[in-house]
A and B are shown apart, each in its own frame.
Chain A
Amino acid sequence: MAIEIENLTKRYGLQNAVDNISFKVNTREVLGFLGPNGAGKSTTMKIIACFIAPHQGDVRLDNLSIHSNPDEIKRRIGYLPENNPLYLDMYVMDYLFFVASIQRVEKSTIDSRVREMVGVCGLSNEKHKRIGELSKGYRQRVGLAQAIIHNPEVLILDEPTSGLDPNQIVEIRKLIKELGKEKTVILSTHILPEVEATCDRILIINRGRLVADGSPSDLRKQAQGQEILNIQLETENSPATIKEKLMQLNTVASVESEGNGQKFFKVVSKTEMSSRKNVFRTCVDNNWILLEMTGQETRLEDVFRELTN
């Protein structure tokens, strides 16, 4: 099920928390929502989940709008709020039964659905405990279980892996990826490697505005523009001569020698060109021994910092 967000605006006081945002998420897409704290990620998710109404704009699921059919939309969305609030005095099983029945899961299937969720989210050993007795990781699983118990077509997960240990993070990511095969998923996070691991597409939002939209590799390419090669040579020649010879190549834009006296160089190619082959041939011609040649990838961190600073 596709979600369309149209010109969404939400103000808190005089500040625009979300400022005229529009985007579309397609079915079976896992969308990562990135941005610094206070950028408007949670607000946008709360609006999609029908918790708060926007000042302007609309969110549409197929033909349903948050303004006219909130009940129907809420039934089709599974939402894990930020900080994962739960009824701490309830037992895990009771809680899942409660959520299943309130989300109008068919009565005959509630039992099997709850059992399935306990299995999927790895809660079998904790199912008879009170939620308040669970550790943060298990609470997060309960939060996830309650979000997917009614088999929603859309999942909205606000920082689903916050507070989990590395093993749990890997498990939850695997689960989200699995869910993303048949559902539309929007998740927000601060952890950039997480986006690369789970998301097909990234939206970066800053001060309530959309600043980037694309797949992780797209974004990296966009930010990079020019190919950067790190090379290490073994030769008698001085760094200055090497530099001069490399600069003669018609694909090279600039060469910087790095490291004191060591023969490390950073070769930046001209836009849309690759110097790998030329650098290799030059080395052969001059009898330099090429010890290392690696392409430097722009990390998502760099993209993020560039766009949100």
Chain B
Amino acid sequence: MPAIWIIAKREINSFFDSLMAYILIVVFLGLSGFFTWLYGNDIFLRGQASLDAFFGISFWSLFFFIPAITMKTLAEENKTGTIELLITKSVSDWQIVTGKFLACLVLVAIALVCTLPYYVTVSKLGNIDHASVWGGYFAMILMSASYISIGLFTSSTTNNQIISFLLALFIGLFFQILFDVISNNMTGTTGAVFDYLSLRNHFDSISRGVIDSKDLIYFFSLITGGLILSEAMLSKRNWK
């Protein structure tokens, strides 16, 4: 078994062991289910067989949930000193970071799989656009991965979980909404740059079912950037 997966497995077990995973999945399903089916601009009000309402609400609930998942990953190890144990095992810093990243991603994926009954139900109700549903799920995975890698980085900077959580929300907020707001108030190149930085646009275009390399590059650079920074923080102990 590769080291990355061994680390990820331990992490996933600890999520489920501490009930955190169950609570997270239940709250996520409850919240997104409530707004998708029962309240506000829900599926019935739209009169269309589409999961847009669900994706719209998940866009925000995942934004808040993911820092809660990632806050503990490295911050707790820094605090209890177990990071020393892990680093002195036969694994590289890179494997530690990606292992933890994968564990969080698997947890989010499990939560998303639990929402597949929505898809089945809605597809029975009418003519659903399958491409856009799968696009929506794909966009959510990409978005989650981006926020996980940001959360991992903030977790690696501190030994305080609360700080890690708030910092992740703060950084995430820029991608989630602030860049969008800034770009609306700017024109020309600056506006275009901020427009490109805003995660929402890329999320929307993928969730329409259009997979464009421009969007993929955006998400993958966000993910890689977060992971590289986390790895850098971890290997900071070796800086001279």
Contacts and interface: CB of A to CB of B under 8 A. Distances in A.
Contacts, number: 65
A49 B3 contact: no
Contact of A99 (B80, B81, B89, B92): B89
Contact of B3 (A52, A72, A94, A102): A102
Interface string A71-98: 1101101010101011111100010001
B82 A87 contact: yes
Secondary structure type dominating chain B contacts: helix
B1 interface: yes
Interface in B116-142: none
A194 B89 CA distance: 27
Given A74-B91, A83-B81, A107-B1, 4 more contacts: A51-B84, A99-B89, A102-B89, A146-B85
B80 A74 contact: no
A236 B87 CA distance: 73
How large, as a class, is the contact surface on chain A? 20 to 34
Interface residues of B, number: 23
Contacts of A79: 88
Contacts of B81: 81, 83, 85
A50 B86 CA distance: 11
Nearest to A75: B90
B23 interface: no
A89 B14 contact: yes
B84 A85 contact: yes
B85 A85 contact: yes
B85 A98 contact: no
Interface in A187-219: none
Interface in B1-39: 1, 3, 6-7, 10, 13-14, 17-18
A94 B12 CA distance: 13
Nearest to B3: A102
Nearest to A98: B10
B237 interface: yes
A101 interface: yes
A77 B238 contact: no
A240 to B, nearest CB: 64
A103 B89 contact: yes
A108 to B, nearest CB: 13
Nearest to B92: A71
Interface in B60-91: 80-82, 84-85, 87-91
Contacts of A55: 240
A50 B237 CA distance: 11
A94 B59 CA distance: 36
Nearest to A143: B85
A74 B238 contact: no
B6 A102 contact: yes
Nearest to A101: B6
A104 interface: yes
Nearest to A71: B90
Q: List the 9 shortest-distance A-B pairs measured between CB atoms, nearest first.
A: A85-B81, A53-B238, A75-B90, A74-B90, A85-B82, A49-B88, A79-B88, A81-B84, A102-B89
A52 B236 CA distance: 9
Contacts of B6: 98, 101-102
